Amino acid sequence: MDQAHTSYTGISIQVSLSGYSFKVSSGEDVSCSGWQGAERLFTTPEFQRRYNWVEISLLTPKVALVPDSFFDPAQPRKALEEVVPLEEGDFVESVPLPSLASTLVYSNSIGESLSKVVAQTVLPASGQPVRVLPEMYYLLQELEKLTDYNKIVASWGGGYLHLAIAQGKSLCLANVFHAPDFTTAQYFIFLCLKRLQLNPEVTTVCFRTPLDPEAEMSLYRYFKGVVQI
């Protein structure tokens, strides 16, 4: 790996049906791309480098968090189809979350091929493609890093809101909502806060996906803080 590559620590890429976004980390500096169209994939210079680490997530709505006490590793499809509708040919996978004593079951079969192409294009230093995981996996990982008592991490893209909420060390919610526009996404955020009796005025909401200025200002009217992570 040449010297030009070694300064780039890592890259996190989020893929949806409508395109992709990414964040490049170099030491303490992080640069964000905003949403990009699929047609720019092979001309994105950041995708031509090797990184110490690579994370690729797909904003799939076909995902569910199952407590290990209820999960049969031999039947991940059965666990997922009890929560979300699946097509006959949908391939179902799972990834353990030991800190939550749970397993995330999911299907990346959502009618796109972009995430597979990204995984073959953007490689870590080893040269081996990384596994494409559901966006919910990384939302739950981010929850554990937050120090506030009320913790909200969200992503919105491809017509879906991905939302994870915790209080202290207790996970309160991990779900995906159909939200074709940001107004609908906000509606589901506030609906969940109301049901969990969380006050947005003392809560910071964190987004993993890009927010345009209008959406960010709309959230600022209600929350103590809005952070893009």
pLDDT in tens, 169-212: 999 999 999 999 999 999 999 999 999 999 999 999 999 999 99
Closest CA to 222 of 181, 195, 184, 189: 189
Counting residues of the chain whose pLDDT is more than 70, the rounded percentage is 97
Angle at 31 between CA 28 and CA 37, to 5 degrees: 155
Helix, strand, coil shares of the chain, percent, nearest 5, are 30, 35, 35
The verdict on 44 and 125 lying in the same domain is yes
Domain termination residue (choose one: 84, 99, 130): 130
The verdict on 126 and 200 lying in the same domain is no
CB 58, CB 107: distance < 8 Å: no
Q: How far apart are CA 44 and CA 180, in angstroms?
A: 27
Q: How far apart are CA 17 and CA 27, in angstroms?
A: 31
Mean pLDDT of the chain: 92
Higher-confidence position of 68 and 5 = 68
The verdict on 121 and 161 lying in the same domain is no
DSSP secondary structure letter of residue 208? S
The verdict on 165 and 214 lying in the same domain is yes
The verdict on 81 and 55 lying in the same domain is no
Q: What is the 3-state secondary structure (H, E, C) of 89-104?
A: CCCEEEEEEHHHCEEE
> Given a cut of 70, is residue 1 above it in pLDDT?
no
State the total domains in the chain. 3
The verdict on 76 and 178 lying in the same domain is no
Q: How far apart are CA 127 and CA 124, in angstroms?
A: 6
**Which amino acid is located at 130 in the chain?**
V
**Residue-level pLDDT at 26:** 84
pLDDT in tens, 74-120: 999 999 999 999 999 999 999 999 999 999 999 999 999 999 999 99
**Residue-level pLDDT at 27:** 76
**Residue-level pLDDT at 2:** 41
CB 131, CB 139: distance < 8 Å: no
CB 20, CB 13: distance < 8 Å: yes
**Residue-level pLDDT at 8:** 64
The verdict on 152 and 209 lying in the same domain is yes
pLDDT in tens, 120-132: 999 999 999 999 9
Domain encompassing residue 71: 63-107
The verdict on 23 and 81 lying in the same domain is no
pLDDT in tens, 134-154: 999 999 999 999 999 999 999
pLDDT in tens, 147-176: 999 999 999 999 999 999 999 999 999 999
**Helix/strand number for the chain, H first, E second:** 6, 15
Other beta carbons less than 10 A from residue 3's beta carbon: 6
The verdict on 15 and 126 lying in the same domain is yes
The verdict on 70 and 17 lying in the same domain is no
The verdict on 83 and 184 lying in the same domain is no
Q: Residue 142: which CATH number?
A: 3.30.420.260
CB 13, CB 122: distance < 8 Å: yes
Q: Residues 31-54: what's their mean pLDDT?
A: 90
**Residue-level pLDDT at 38:** 87
Q: How far apart are CA 59 and CA 17, in angstroms?
A: 8
The verdict on 121 and 35 lying in the same domain is yes
